[in-house]
A and B are shown apart, each in its own frame.
Chain A
Amino acid sequence: EDQVTQSPEALRLQEGESSSLNCSYTVSGLRGLFWYRQDPGKGPEFLFTLYSAGEEKEKERLKATLTKKESFLHITAPKPEDSATYLCAVRRRGNAGNMLTFGGGTRLMVKP
C-alpha cells in the first residue's frame, strides 16, 4: 500500500526565515510526485510534478526536490502570503485510475 508522510505537521516561520518541508513516501514504482498548496476552505492548487530522483523544480520562492525515498519543498525568504497548507501526493506506476495518495500536509504560518 502506498504511504505518504509529511513533516512537520505545522511550521511557524518569521518572514524571511528560510526552511524546508519534508515528504517521505513508499510506493511500488513511482509515476509522479506532486506538490499542492491549499488555502483554508479552498481546493488544492497545483505547484509541481517531479518524476525521477534528482529532479528539481522552482517557482518564485519555492523549490521542490526528489530522491528515491523523499521530496523536499524548500521555501526561501518566505512572505506572509506563503502561509497555507502544503500537500504532497504520489501516483504509482500502473495503478488503475489516476489515484493520488496524499500525505496529511504541513501547515505553514509565516509571521511578518
Chain B
Amino acid sequence: ETGVTQSPTHLIKTRGQQVTLRCSSQSGHNTVSWYQQALGQGPQFIFQYYREEENGRGNFPPRFSGLQFPNYSSELNVNALELDDSALYLCASSQERSGTAYEQYFGPGTRLTVT
C-alpha cells in the first residue's frame, strides 16, 4: 500500500511569486485535505477536495486555491506569496463516507520559505 506523497520537499520563493505544491493520495482514498503548519504550531485547515470539488474551506484567502484530479491526486496553488506564507504545507488523504469520522493520513509535507 502506497502512502501519501508530496513534492517538492523544500521550496524557496520570493514575495509576490506564485507556487504550486503537489500531493498523491494513499491508495484507495477519495478525499484530500490541505493544511498549513507554522513553526511550533498545530496544522491549520486550508481546504478539502472530494470528487474533484472543494468540499470545505478554512479561514484562508482566495489566493489559496486547489485542484483534485480523477486519480485523486491534488495541487495547492498560492498566488501573490507573502512572508507569512512560509510554513510546512501538509496534504492528508482519507476515505470519506457519511456519518463516520475517518482518520486522515498525512504526507511528509513541503517546506515553503518566502523571502
Contact = CB atoms under 8 A, between A and B. Distances in A.
Interface of A: 4, 6, 31-32, 34, 36, 41-46, 49, 51, 87, 89, 91, 95-105
A98 B41 contact: no
Contact of B42 (A96, A98, A103): A103
Given A87-B42, A97-B47, A102-B44, A46 B105 contact: yes
A98 B111 contact: no
Instruction: Please provide the 6 A-B residue pairs with the shortest distance between their CB atoms, ordered closest to farther.
Output: A97-B56, A32-B101, A102-B42, A43-B106, A97-B48, A31-B101
Nearest to B33: A98
B111 A34 contact: no
A96 B53 CA distance: 12
Given A97-B33, A97-B47, A43 B90 contact: yes
Main secondary structure of the interface of B (DSSP, over half): strand
Nearest to A30: B101
Interface residues of B, number: 33
Contacts of B107: 43
Contacts of A95: 56
Contacts of B111: 41
Interface string B96-109: 10000111111111
A100 B104 contact: yes
B111 to A, nearest CB: 7
Given A43-B108, A104-B40, 13 more contacts: A34-B101, A36-B106, A42-B108, A44-B106, A51-B101, A89-B42, A89-B43, A91-B101, A97-B56, A97-B57, A99-B56, A99-B58, A102-B42
B94 interface: yes
Given A97-B56, A98-B33, A46 B104 contact: yes
